[in-house]
């Protein structure tokens, strides 16, 4: 099947000015490739600093100004240019950002989820999506500073899935959520995938990734270590990189070897 998203040979580096005059380039992602097919949840697993958020931001052309990216990103078979990404973002392509600072502090939650739309249909969908994440209709009238961390996280997810996206990029969506709320989020991703969406699920939680993903890409030090299915990972077959093998060995069911 034609992937909905493909990333080929993506590299991201930062210009760094050392003391004195020398300018060094610091590479954060190197030659990364992956593909998400419609109907699939691809988990990208890596420890903090591995480059997971950079990957999400590179796809959507929202990297910091001092970053330099190269490589090919295609969405729906065509190059995902900055112009296209701007049009698609928040509509067909939804980002669930890692930081809750992505919420607009000056706008009430309800308006943010509806993106200012006020039709009865938009209002009903907004209520539905909030309810789905265990938030009552009164949440719509709150400003972001009035939300707890876990509520803010759920609001970000509600914002992202409101428009039935074809591609969801979720950057560590579950920290701060209890097991029940996290389960609800992952269940919803699965459901969106079953309706034909592609899901890029970024997480440092290997157990969570194994429980929900069709395939897992292990990111290590800015590079793809391995891409395998959860059953391959569990069985330890097809793992080529020492980091992936060590990760598997360290799982509780493998006695933390
Ligand atoms: N704005 C920046 N300037 C310089 N280096 C950065 C910047 N943002 C990220 N990096 C570097 O890129 C690496 C990967 O960052 P990130 O993608 O946020 O990791 P994570 O996997 O935790 O999401 C970090 O270790 C950091 O060194
Ligand atoms: Mg991150």
Per-residue pLDDT tens digits for 183-192? 888 998 998 9
Q: Is 165 in the pocket of ligand 1 (CB under 6 A)?
A: no
Residues within 5 Å of ion ligand 2, judged at the Cβ atom: 52-53, 98
Nearest atom in ligand 1 to the alpha carbon of residue 46 is 21
Q: Quote the CA–CA distance of 140 and 109 in Å, as a whole number.
A: 5
Handedness of CA 53, 55, 60, 65 (dihedral sign): positive
Handedness of CA 166, 61, 116, 143 (dihedral sign): positive
Is the CB of 50 inside a 6 Å radius of any atom of ligand 1?
Answer: yes
Question: What pLDDT is recorded for position 115?
Answer: 85
- Which residue's CA is the closest to the ligand 1 atom numbered 24? 49
Q: What is the pLDDT of residues 172-224, one digit of tens each?
A: 998 888 888 888 889 989 989 999 999 999 999 999 999 999 999 999 999 99
CATH number for the region 5-92+163-254 comes to: 3.40.50.300
Position 256 pLDDT exceeds 60: no
| Tens digits of residue pLDDT in 62-83 | 999 999 999 999 999 999 999 9
User: Has residue 132 got a pLDDT over 90?
Assistant: no
pLDDT of residue 20: 66
CA torsion angle 170 172 191 136 (round to 10):
-100
């Amino acid at each position: 099947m034609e992937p909905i998203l493909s990333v080929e040979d993506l590299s991201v580096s930062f210009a760094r000015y050392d003391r004195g005059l020398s300018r060094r380039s610091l590479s954060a992602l190197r030659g990364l490739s992956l593909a998400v097919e419609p109907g699939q949840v691809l988990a990208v697993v890596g420890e903090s600093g591995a480059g997971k958020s950079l990957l999400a931001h590179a796809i959507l052309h929202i990297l910091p100004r001092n970053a330099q990216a190269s490589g090919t990103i295609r969405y729906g078979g065509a190059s995902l240019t900055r112009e296209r990404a701007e049009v698609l973002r928040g509509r067909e392509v939804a980002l669930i950002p890692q930081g809750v600072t992505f919420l607009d502090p000056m706008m009430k939650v309800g308006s943010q989820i509806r993106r200012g739309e006020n039709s009865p249909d938009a209002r009903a969908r907004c209520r539905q999506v909030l309810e789905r994440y265990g938030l009552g209709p009164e949440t719509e009238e709150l400003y972001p500073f009035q939300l707890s961390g876990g509520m803010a996280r759920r609001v970000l997810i509600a914002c992202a899935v409101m428009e039935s996206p074809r591609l969801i990029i979720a950057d560590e969506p579950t920290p701060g959520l209890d097991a029940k709320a996290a389960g609800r989020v992952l269940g919803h991703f699965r459901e969106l995938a079953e309706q034909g969406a592609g899901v890029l699920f970024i997480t440092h939680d290997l157990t969570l990734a194994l429980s929900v993903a069709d395939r897992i890409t292990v990111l290590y030090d800015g590079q793809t270590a391995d891409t395998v299915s959860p059953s391959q990972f569990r069985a330890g077959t097809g793992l080529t990189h020492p980091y992936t093998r060590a990760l598997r060995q360290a799982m509780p069911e493998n006695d933390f070897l």
